[in-house]
Amino acid sequence: MRTYTPKSDVQKKSFYSDRFFVKPSVPRKDVESDDVFLEDLQSFDGLFQIEDSYIELDHLVLIINPNDNVNVIKHLKTEQSYDFLVELTAVDYLEKKGGFEIVYEMLSTSKRKRVRVKTFMKQNETIQSVESLYRMADWSEREMFDMYGVKVVNHPNLRRILMPNDWDGHPLLKTYPLHGNEAASWYEVDKIFGKEAREVVGPELRDSACVDRYDTNRFARLGHEVSKGTTISQGNEPDTPIRYQEEGGVKLFGAKLVTPFDEIETVHLKERK
Amino acid sequence: MQQSNRLKPFFENINFEREDNTMVVNFGPQHPSAHGQLRLMLELQGEEVVKATPDIGYLHRGIEKMGENMIYNEFLPTTDRMDYIASSSNNYGYAIAVEKLLGIEAPRRAEVIRTMLIELNRIISHLFWLATHALDVGAMSIFLYTFREREYAMDLMEDYCGARLTHSAIRIGGVPLDLPKNWTEDLEKFIKTLESQIPIYEGLLTKNRIWKMRLEDVGVIPTEMAKSWGLSGVALRGSNVKWDLRKEMPYGLYDELDFNIPISDKCDSYGRYKCYMQEMYESSKILKQLIPMYEESDTQLMAHAPDYISATKEEIMTQNYSLMQHFVLVTQGMRPPVGEVYVATESPKGELGFYIVSDGTPYAYKLKCRAPSFFHTGLLTDLLPGHQLADVVTIIGNLNIVFGEIDR
């Protein structure tokens, strides 16, 4: 028998997978298959420890020790002419491995090659900033700190960048809910009305698709309309009879009776005017 | 002392005037020439900027978080909302990133149509840039002229996919629709109009004394600074680096197309303006070459990859297995191979990259959008000091930043 998995959160993750389904992997090539990358890799011999290296979809991937990150990137920049640090980000592996993978995506305009330097750091560790080598790391590392809470040392200005300074939690962590946590739903209420108004205003509805069918102040009950602000609850729903206005015609402002649609008297246009 | 009968201005805890005689001006986030929601905290000495601190995040919608909670096809319309001036470029960047992860290629006709759309979108984006930039600098009339041509280009887009701003016309694996009847003739007409109109814009601006005074030697980005800040697109080419991904690391059809890369060695706003104008000619040149390529191509529009891409509508409606496959792909989503991919494309703003980490489930484990404007905004920290307050508006407009993709 197939193992039981809860199916109530269908939208949240894939609930079904075949027993015999084997996940395929992106093909990886040896570094020997590319001369330029091989030369890059060999230039590291005796300098830094490269834990693993392979070519994945035209990128040379180097997995390094987290303490070497500045030196390795400096080496790539000065010796191997990787003049651009294109992207810098973290990947959350807290659940699986208890830490983050930091990814540095580099580009050489003279060689027309891209290198991805990856390193794994534990949750409580810190990582050195590469801001002294590439100014763009200033903002990228701030974003990484903001989104994942990764602590970067020697950064000139490690503040949040996208979220407000007093925000609670780091939004791109896998543990952070999609619609925000409890603090998020009170954030704007506290800012606009003040903490003391929490009881009156109530938390912000952060799920934009949420419809409360018993809330007659903020939602129209389509097909079951009641006047605004009526208190209703389950079992206490008024029965709304459905009437069609065509039956017997429509009265316009009490004067003219608009007769229902008559197919025989309708004029069909031969062509669009 | 605060006088009780006077209203005290509220400047969000910023000292308006400080002891060292610098004045702090809060530029934005609702300033019309802040191009969206840019808040700049400028420290001024007289009218000269001493320190600039860009503050972003006012349009942050968590698109990367959404990308991790949506199946791959579901996320594609969301990419429209990043750089909403050139949404097809975002769709294309995302689509080819996922295609590379899946190891599939779009059919030739789809690739031709996609290239047409993104080049048309580049023209739309550049026209919009010219209009708003000139408006910021004070040339009002150019706005009306460029928006007329932009309207024609958007009509073409509308004829193809029905949408004008957020197209989602490029899908993973190809395009859903063939070009409508007579679309290529309309495109030819548009190119003809555009090529006759660009000299008029240039006639209004290029030798205009005010325009030159406002742009020349304003916002000089030295090559080193441009590389260090990871600039791309025209901002980089305007700093004397010949680097266009379409030419240097070609993707799609670009290695078959003949076009030039305009660069400027002046490194200033005026040089970048000239690059932008030249790029519009180059894009129309590309579009002209694409029309015969379209006519020669085979009619297939979506890649044939039953594991990942739904079959054609006709097959879904007639064949049971295709229908089942389609149902699974829509309700559960495609499951790409385990791996990581970073694909960069040359969007009108610069290098737009998508870094996707797949763990073999229908949801991306990590999706990072590398938005060019993000770094162009960061650059303002280093670029603005030393400029006059009036030049700030020129520089922001000239860098062509769009907040949809900065904040994501």
Q: What is the 3-state secondary structure (H, E, C) of B155-220?
A: HHHHHHHCCCCCCCCCECCECCCCCCCCHHHHHHHHHHHHHHHHHHHHHHHCCCHHHHHHHCCCCC
Whose structure tokens read 């900027």?
B49
| Smallest Cα distance from A244 to chain B, Å | 34
Q: Which helix (H) or strand (E) holds A200?
A: helix A198-201
Each residue's pLDDT tens digit, B313-371: 888 999 998 999 898 888 888 999 999 999 999 999 999 999 999 988 889 999 999 99
B109, B114, B119, B125: CA torsion to nearest 10 = 160
Q: Do A33 and A145 sit in the same domain of this protein?
A: yes
Q: What is the ipTM of this complex?
A: 0.85
A109 assigned to some structural domain: yes
Task: Say whether both A143 and A188 belong to one domain.
Answer: no
- Asked if A124 has any chain B CB less than 8 Å from its own CB, the reply is no
Determine the distance in angstroms separating the CA of B332 from the nearest CA of chain A, rounded to an integer. Answer: 7
Residues A206 and A127 in one domain: no
Q: Is B35 on the interface with A (CB under 8 A)?
A: no
Give the confidence band of A243 by pLDDT, cuts at 50, 70, 90: low
- Residue A90's domain comprises 28-153
Q: Which residue has the higher pLDDT, B25 or A60?
A: A60
Count the domains in chain B: 1
User: Residues of B numbered 98-127 whose beta carbons fall under 8 angstroms of chain A's beta carbons: which are they?
Assistant: 100-101, 103
Q: How far apart are CA A54 and CA A167, in angstroms?
A: 39
CATH number at residue B115: 1.10.645.10
Q: What pLDDT does B1 receive?
A: 42
Residues of B in contact with A87 (CB under 8 A): 342, 353, 355, 368, 370
Residue A57 in contact with partner chain B when CB distance is under 8 A: yes
The CA distance from A57 to the nearest CA of chain B, in Å, is 7
Whether residue B340 and residue A56 make contact (CB cut-off 8 A), yes or no, is: yes
Q: How many domains does chain A have?
A: 2
β partners of residue B43: B24, B51
Residues A108 and A211 in one domain: no
Please report whether residue A251 resides in a domain: no
Could you tell me if residue B177 is inside a domain?
A: yes
For residue B311, tell me if it sits in a domain. yes
Low-confidence spans in chain B with pLDDT less than 50: 1-6, 13
Alpha-carbon distances, residue B351 vs A86, A99, B29, B375, B404 (angstroms): 9, 29, 25, 10, 15
Does A42 fall in a domain?
yes
Is residue B358 within 8 Å of residue B334, measured between CB atoms? no
Given A138, A153, A168, the domain boundary residue is: A153
In-domain check, residue A203? yes
The answer to whether residue A145 is domain-embedded is: yes
The token pair at A97 is: 């491995």
Using CA atoms of B7, B13, B14, B18 in order, give the dihedral in degrees to the nearest 10: 80
Same domain, A129 and A65: yes
Least confident of A39-48, A118-127, A134-143, B180-189: A39-48
pLDDT of A116 above 90:
yes
**Are A148 and A189 contained in the same domain?**
no
Overall size of chain B counted in residues: 408
Q: How far apart are CA A219 and CA A236, in angstroms?
A: 17
Give the pLDDT confidence score for residue B25 in this predicted structure.
82
Is A126 inside any structural domain?
Answer: yes
Contact B374/A at CB under 8 A:
yes
Question: Would B109 be classed as within a structural domain?
Answer: yes
Q: Is residue B281 part of a domain?
A: yes
First and final CA of chain A: distance in angstroms? Answer: 66
Query: Do A79 and A191 belong to one domain?
Result: no
- The backbone region for B9, taken as left when phi is positive above 0, alpha when psi lies in -120 to 50, beta otherwise, is beta
What is the CATH number for A146? 3.30.460.80
Backbone dihedral angles phi then psi of residue B249, each to the nearest 5 degrees: -130, 70
Predicted local distance difference test score (pLDDT) of residue A181: 86
Q: Select the more confidently predicted residue: A247 or B145.
A: B145
The residue of B228, B239, B356 whose CB has the most chain A CBs within 10 angstroms, and thus the best one to mutate to test that interface, is B228
| The pair of three-digit structure tokens given for residue A245, joined into one six-digit string | 């206005």
Looking at the fold, whether A185 and A138 belong to one and the same domain comes out as no
Look up the pTM and report it: 0.85
Does residue A101 carry a pLDDT above 80? yes
pLDDT, one tens digit per residue, over A181-227 is: 889 989 888 888 888 888 888 888 888 777 778 888 888 887 777 88
Q: Which residues pair with B109 in a beta bridge?
A: none
Band of pLDDT at residue A23, cut at 50, 70 and 90: confident
β pairing state of B23-27 and B39-45: antiparallel
What pLDDT is stored for residue A119 in this prediction? 94
Name the strand (E) or helix (H) holding B246: helix B245-248
